[in-house]
């Protein structure tokens, strides 16, 4: 059983064959799919998907790309949406200094405000970074220090597991940055990029192992080899698991067990 912890299956590209996409996921053993919103509208769509399809869970949040169009009213809406029973996290939120679609100051403001929503709601966060990892880690560290009691529902009945607060998705940072994130209660996840030739993340993956990793496809983007460049879909998470198994000299079953455990712990999924 696999969890795809990050798939935007609300996009237009799935409009005609979503049922097929979900059927292929199930057939491949992908029993749970987490769908992060990118603005208020897509957060609502993520919730609708969670209502309609078994094994689909929603995250609500405003992506840094959309920060310049978001007002304080949007933040209130995100907080209200977070009460829906299908919502398992606030996301995706963060900082994107590669595209800079929104002013950085506004991105930081919105990231901070949404971390605070997660803290009020005892929810984890799904964090997006691009050329902004160090600053995002600093902001998360400050938030954890300001409220060490920030915990997530998934942690409630699992006293033996370490406290978890979120995931840095599509992670491209260093081993040291990973270790700091693990210390702060975060997982990291790698999409299809790990299967690419000369992938920059392979060395890090080998070093950090499987204990603090989630699986994700980042659909519709980042399709793994041999689908690179095509539309991605949750069933392909299996290819990422196979690659991780190969890199870490483990069986795909061990990868599946461990990452599914991690995802259930973080998102409080049954
Ligand atoms: Zn992202
Ligand atoms: Zn995303």
Is residue 22 in a domain? yes
Predicted local distance difference test score (pLDDT) of residue 193 = 93
pLDDT per residue over 57-77, tens digit each?
Answer: 999 999 999 998 888 799 999
Closest alpha carbon to 234 in 20, 54, 15? 20
For 66, phi then psi, to 5°, come to -100, 5
229 inside domain: no
Ligand nearest to the CA of 130: 1
* Distance between Cα 149 and ligand 2 center (Å): 27
Query: Looking at the domain assignment, is residue 232 inside a domain?
Result: no
Residue 249 belongs to a domain: no
Q: How far is the CA of 251 from the centre of ligand 2 (A)?
A: 27
What is the mean predicted confidence (pLDDT) over 34-54? 97
User: Is residue 99 included in any domain, yes or no?
Assistant: yes
Tally the domains of the chain.
Answer: 1
In a domain, 179, yes or no: yes
Q: In Å, what is the CA distance from 54 to each residue of 32, 86, 121?
A: 8, 10, 24
Q: What is the CATH number of the domain that holds 116?
A: 3.20.20.140
* Ligand 1 geometric centre to CA of 10 (Å): 15
For 155, the domain range is 2-187+256-267
| C-alpha 24 to ligand 1 mean position (Å) | 23
Ranges of H-type helices in the chain: 18-27, 40-52, 72-81, 104-121, 133-146, 175-183, 202-208, 237-248, 252-267
Query: Quick one: DSSP state of residue 67?
Result: G
Q: Is residue 157 scored above 70 in pLDDT?
A: no
Listed residue (249, 224, 244, 247) closest to 234, CA to CA: 224
What's the CA-to-centroid distance between 92 and ligand 2, angstroms? 6
pLDDT in tens, 97-156: 999 989 999 999 999 999 999 999 999 999 999 999 999 999 999 999 999 888 776 555
Q: What pLDDT is stored for residue 256 in this prediction?
A: 97
70 close to 123: Cβ distance less than 8 angstroms: no
Q: Report how far ligand 1's centroid is from the alpha carbon of 159 (Å).
A: 30
**244 falls within a domain:** no
The mean per-residue pLDDT over the stretch 157-165 comes to 70
**pLDDT score, position 71:** 80
Is 80 domain-assigned? yes
């Amino acid at each position: 059983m696999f969890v795809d912890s990050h798939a935007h299956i609300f996009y237009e590209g799935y409009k005609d064959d979503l049922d097929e996409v979900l059927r292929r996921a199930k057939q491949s053993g992908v029993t749970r799919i987490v769908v992060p919103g990118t603005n208020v509208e897509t957060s609502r769509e993520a919730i609708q998907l969670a209502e309609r399809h078994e094994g689909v869970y929603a995250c609500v949040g405003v992506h840094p790309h959309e920060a310049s169009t978001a007002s304080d009213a949007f933040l209130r809406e995100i907080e209200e949406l977070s009460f829906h029973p299908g919502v398992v996290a606030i996301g995706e939120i963060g900082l994107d200094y590669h595209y800079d679609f929104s002013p950085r100051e506004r991105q930081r403001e919105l990231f901070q405000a949404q971390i605070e929503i997660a803290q009020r709601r005892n929810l984890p966060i799904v964090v997006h970074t691009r050329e902004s990892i160090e600053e995002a880690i600093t902001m998360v560290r400050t938030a954890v220090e300001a409220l060490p009691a920030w915990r997530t529902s998934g942690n409630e009945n699992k006293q033996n597991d370490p406290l978890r607060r979120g995931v840095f998705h599509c992670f491209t940072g260093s081993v040291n940055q990973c270790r700091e994130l693990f210390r702060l209660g975060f997982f990291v996840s790698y999409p299809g990029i790990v299967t690419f030739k000369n992938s920059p993340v392979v060395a890090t993956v080998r070093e950090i192992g499987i204990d603090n990793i989630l699986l994700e496809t980042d659909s519709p983007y980042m399709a793994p080899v041999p689908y690179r460049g095509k539309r991605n879909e949750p069933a392909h998470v299996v290819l990422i698991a196979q690659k991780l198994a190969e890199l870490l000299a483990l069986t795909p079953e061990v990868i599946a067990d461990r990452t599914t455990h991690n995802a259930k712990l973080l998102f409080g999924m049954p």
